[in-house]
Structure 1
Amino acid sequence: MKTTLMIYDGPAPADSDAPRTGGVPLAPAGFDWPLCGCGGPLQFFAHLPVEDGVLSVFLCQNDPGACEFWDASSSANRVFLFPREELRPVAVPEAGLALLPATSAIRTHVVTLDPEEADDDEDIELGAYDVARQGWNREPAERFGKQREVLGSLGGSPSYLEDDRLPACPSCTGTMEFAAHLEEGIARETAMNLGGQLGYVFVCRTCRKGSFLTD
């Protein structure tokens, strides 16, 4: 079993095309900044290049806790799957909380768990992502205490999420595919506000639409 962890890798340019949290979104020409049902702009959280495009994740932070950004069916979050070609920085709204306070680079780290060895490890009950995340502060020894460096993971399966919470695509009604976990981050200055919860990003690759929810 392989888990691709996303690890905090210091500051990044705001318009980088590499994996990052914060900065400005890169989108095709004609893209309009998404608005929440409250009327304010959604805050851009993450730019995540994947095999068939780029996932862009937005959540409402205009009045934290007032808009249900944790609900996959809410207008307080939005996920887009853009093609990689001809992406450009999007003009940032002048009002509202549209950007994170800092742009953070992400590097990926693949953790391989041997199922035969895991059979005798009670931690396997936690799920592949949870085991990989916990292992980040144990091996090697110098990583101890650095679990907050983990910003989530790409691909795999959603951790501790019941089947009845898997979102359906609003266009084709099919069950969306899990794409990524998101963690709040390493420090208040760079963190994504997820209400202290683990975030889940889903996508319908056929319709190129996504959704977001928290645990």
Structure 2
Amino acid sequence: MQATLMIYNGTAAPDADVLRTGGVPLAPARTTWPMCGNTCGGPMQFFAHLPVDYGVLSVFVCQNDPGACDTHDPVSGANRVLLFPSAELVPVAVPEEGVTLLPAVSAITTAVVTLEPEEADEDGLPPDAYDLARGGWKWEPGELFGKQREVLGSLGGSPSCLGDDRLPECPSCSGVMEFAAHLEEGIDRRSAMNLGGDLGYVFVCRPCSQGAFLRD
């Protein structure tokens, strides 16, 4: 059993084409900044640039009036995940108004964690690879906690502690979307994405080039 953790790795240029949170989104030319379709109608905040083997995922979440727009629901209009091809991407023009950028950029490196097979828990549920890998990151015997704040999420695998009824459907083909990534809030206040203490989930439908985000 394995999990590919995303680990904080210092800072990066705001337009770097690397795994990062914060900075500015990279997209094909003439791409416009996503606007909130839930309540406020303002520009959403850019959370993460995630290059993956099938393209680039850009994650946006509305932060103009935290709590006013429903960022838990993947179809509320307050979240957007855009999937772009990897080539010929340029920085997207940042709107002059609204809460659009994180105060700091966090570079991300990946670490593949191999876990010993575990039996189902007392409720009969299978082991949660992400939860186990995150909880054990740099944990040493005798310590109460490891370096869990360094973990900014994970790529691929299965969504942690998310029921089947929360899995989003693709708006184009109505199929259940593929899980792409977890997102954690961040290592400190300046770089943190406002997830209200929740875990963020990124989903994608590759054939339809559609994405979705939710909190839980």
> Same fold by TM-score, threshold 0.5 exceeded?
yes
CA contact (8 A) 1:3 1:129 kept: yes
DSSP-derived class of the 2:111 partner: strand
Q: Taking structure 1 as reference, are residues 121 and 77 closer, same or farther at Cα in structure 2, changes over 3 Å only?
A: closer
**Structure 1, 151-160 or 134-143: larger mean CA deviation:** 134-143
- For 1:96 and 1:7, the matched residues in 2 are separated by 29
The one-letter code matched in structure 1 to 2:45 is: Q
Q: Which has the higher helix share?
A: 1
Q: Does 1:89 align with 2:94?
A: no
DSSP-derived class of the 2:10 partner: strand
Q: Does 1:25 align with 2:25?
A: yes
Structure 1 residue 141: Cα displacement: 8.2
The one-letter code matched in structure 1 to 2:22 is: G
Superposition RMSD in Å: 1.9
Equivalent positions of 1:6-155 (< 5 A) are 6-37=6-37, 38-115=40-117, 118-119=118-119, 127-139=128-140, 145-155=146-156
DSSP-derived class of the 1:11 partner: coil
**Structure 1, 188-197 or 133-142: larger mean CA deviation:** 133-142
- For 1:121 and 1:69, the matched residues in 2 are separated by 31
Q: Taking structure 1 as reference, are residues 180 and 186 closer, same or farther at Cα in structure 2, changes over 3 Å only?
A: same
Structure-2 residue corresponding to 1:172:
173
**Structure 1, 8-17 or 133-142: larger mean CA deviation:** 133-142
Identity across matched positions, percent: 71
Structure 1 residue 30: Cα displacement: 1.6
CA contact (8 A) 1:137 1:143 kept: no
- For 1:139 and 1:125, the matched residues in 2 are separated by 25
- For 1:141 and 1:33, the matched residues in 2 are separated by 48
Structure-2 residue corresponding to 1:163:
164
- Structure 1's unaligned 5+ residue stretches are none
The one-letter code matched in structure 1 to 2:183 is: L
Residue by residue, what CA displacement relative to the aligned partner does 1:34-84 show, whole Å, maximum 9, x if unpaired? 000212100000000111000000000000010011111111100011100
Structure 1 residue 125: Cα displacement: 5.4
- For 2:49 and 2:9, the matched residues in 1 are separated by 14
Structure 1 residue 157: Cα displacement: 0.2
Q: Taking structure 1 as reference, are residues 145 and 114 closer, same or farther at Cα in structure 2, changes over 3 Å only?
A: closer
The 4+ residue runs of structure 1 with deviation greater than 3 A are 119-122, 139-145
Structure 1 residue 198: Cα displacement: 0.4
- For 1:82 and 1:76, the matched residues in 2 are separated by 20
CA contact (8 A) 1:25 1:47 kept: yes
DSSP-derived class of the 1:111 partner: strand
How many residues align structurally? 212
Residue by residue, what CA displacement relative to the aligned partner does 1:103-157 show, whole Å, maximum 9, x if unpaired? 1100000001132xx34998x9550000000010414889954211100000000
- For 2:54 and 2:165, the matched residues in 1 are separated by 27
CA contact (8 A) 1:136 1:143 kept: no
